[in-house]
Amino acid sequence: MLELALTHRSYAYEFGGLPTNERLEFLGDSVLGLVVTEELYTKFPDLDESRLSPLRSGVVNMRALAQIARELELGQYLRIGKGEETTGGRDKNSILADSFEALVGAIYLDLGFEKTQEIILKWFRPSIESANAQGIGIDSKTALQELCAARGLGTPEYEITESGPDHDKSFT
């Protein structure tokens, strides 16, 4: 199962249509999403969907998944084609993130949900804590309003200016 999780489509195509990690990636993406979503839902009972959803996106995204894959040194174990090899595929965020999701899918199939959940949370709890502490999931306007309210400054007033032609307006 691990070998399949680490088999990129470029390798599979070069060697006669071997199975790829794409199905495991699909499964792993869903398992990862469920585990992180449940953790956020449980850990932050006062946050509504409008805050939880961007918080989840701040924790589970291509860059974050690729970073964990790098920490696991996953790149050195990937089975990638010659073309990907020559263009630095072992260190591409997209390939690392996809392979990480495939690894999660393989772990789930081998060990079941509870053990997979433990493993995922070990990897993601620090990111969840720091994302919430840094206010990830809050747009800048909301962050400013909350800061002003916390300091007793009232609600900020906004002035919007527009520029550019009618078909391509910019607002600041």
**Looking at residue 124, what is its pLDDT?**
95
With respect to residue 152, please indicate whether it lies within any of the assigned structural domains: no
The CATH number of the domain holding residue 73 is: 1.10.1520.10
Q: Which tokens is 105 given?
A: 């899918």
Find residue 163's DSSP bridge partners.
Answer: 170
With respect to residue 145, please indicate whether it lies within any of the assigned structural domains: no
The secondary structure element, H or E, covering residue 170 is strand 170-171
Find residue 162's DSSP bridge partners.
Answer: 171
With respect to residue 53, please indicate whether it lies within any of the assigned structural domains: yes
Which residue range is the domain that position 43 belongs to? 2-138
With respect to residue 159, please indicate whether it lies within any of the assigned structural domains: no
The secondary structure element, H or E, covering residue 171 is strand 170-171
Q: Which tokens is 109 given?
A: 């199939």
Find residue 170's DSSP bridge partners.
Answer: 163
Question: Which amino acids are annotated catalytic?
Answer: 29, 101
**Looking at residue 16, what is its pLDDT?**
87
Rounded (10°) angle between helices 93-111 and 113-133:
140
**Looking at residue 75, what is its pLDDT?**
96
Q: Which residues of 88-99 are buried (b: 16+ CB within 10 A; e: fewer)?
A: ebbebbebbbbb
With respect to residue 15, please indicate whether it lies within any of the assigned structural domains: yes
Cα separation, 129 vs 135, whole angstroms:
10
Which 8-state DSSP code applies to residue 77?
G
**Looking at residue 129, what is its pLDDT?**
86
pLDDT in tens, the chain (172 residues): 999 999 999 999 998 889 999 999 999 999 999 999 999 999 999 989 988 998 999 899 999 999 999 999 999 999 999 999 999 999 999 999 999 999 999 999 999 999 999 999 999 999 888 877 766 555 567 667 766 777 888 888 888 888 887 777 777 7
Which 8-state DSSP code applies to residue 158?
-
**Looking at residue 137, what is its pLDDT?**
54
**Looking at residue 159, what is its pLDDT?**
81
pTM (two decimals): 0.78
Q: Which tokens is 2 given?
A: 């691990």
Domain count along the chain: 1
Phi and psi at 159, nearest 5°, equal: -120, 120
